[in-house]
Structure 1
């Protein structure tokens, strides 16, 4: 069960990144190009937020069955000094919660704006910050701090 959810979480990350990048492309193109906020832009906003929330649910489920998180919680005083354990027990989950909160704020604020330019600008700014937070906390295979495979097999 743990291996399956871990692989699923790893896979969904790519959907989160793709939907975020596409939403950012649409947001910046609309904002800087003075375009009309279309039904496609509305769908892109909703899909980016939905995919992020699906990843959140899978990630929280993974956190509660993870042996790493379990060790971190059970042995906090020692674990907080171990880089990899601390990353998955505290840093990754905290930063991802912040990132998904920023995506949610972007979606909610953009939805309430009255002009198309304000909608695009709001999405562009908030989603850019969210993407930076998320990118900084993914355990990339090339990271010198925490390294995990880019793709996991089911």
Structure 2
């Protein structure tokens, strides 16, 4: 169960990154060039939020069954000094929940706003902050905190 969830978590990460980059590209383009908000822009917003919320559910599930997190929670004082345990037990989840919150807030504001330029601006600002949080909190192979492969396989 844990390995399967970890693989799905790894795969969905790429869906988030791709949809987030696409959303950011069109948000900045629409904002800076005063483009009208289109159905495609709305689809990008919805797809990004959907990927992020699916990942949040998978991530919470992983958090509950992860042996690293279990070790972190049961040996807190010792685990704080172990980079990998601290990263997954505290840092990764905190930053990702914040990123999900920023994407959800930006999407919600944009959904309710009537003006196209303001819609694009809200998506651009909130999604950019979330992108920074996400990109710095993914355990990339080059990460100084802990490393994981670019993609996991079955």
Give TM class, smaller chain. Answer: over 0.9
**Alignment-derived partner of residue 133 in structure 1:** 133
Deviations, residues 40-61 of structure 1 (Å, cap 9, x unaligned)? 1111111101110000000111
TM value normalised by structure 2: 0.98
User: What displacement does 1:144 show?
Assistant: 2.8
User: What displacement does 1:97 show?
Assistant: 0.2
Q: Which runs of 4+ in 1 moved over 6 A?
A: none
Deviations, residues 82-101 of structure 1 (Å, cap 9, x unaligned)? 11100000000000000010
Distance 2:22 2:134 in 1: 15
Gaps (5+ residues) in structure 2?
none
Distance 1:143 1:108 in 2: 32
Is the partner of 2:150 in helix, strand or coil?
Answer: coil
Whether contact under 8 Å (2:87, 2:145) holds in the other structure is: no
The answer on 1:24 being equivalent to 2:24 is: yes
Distance 1:144 1:97 in 2: 21
Distance 2:145 2:46 in 1: 33
**Alignment-derived partner of residue 94 in structure 1:** 94
**Alignment-derived partner of residue 77 in structure 1:** 77
User: What displacement does 1:112 show?
Assistant: 1.5
Distance 1:137 1:52 in 2: 14
TM value normalised by structure 1: 0.98
Aligned length: 154
User: What displacement does 1:27 show?
Assistant: 0.3
User: What displacement does 1:146 show?
Assistant: 1.2
1:1-154 paired onto structure 2 within 5 Å? 1-154=1-154
User: What displacement does 1:142 show?
Assistant: 1.2
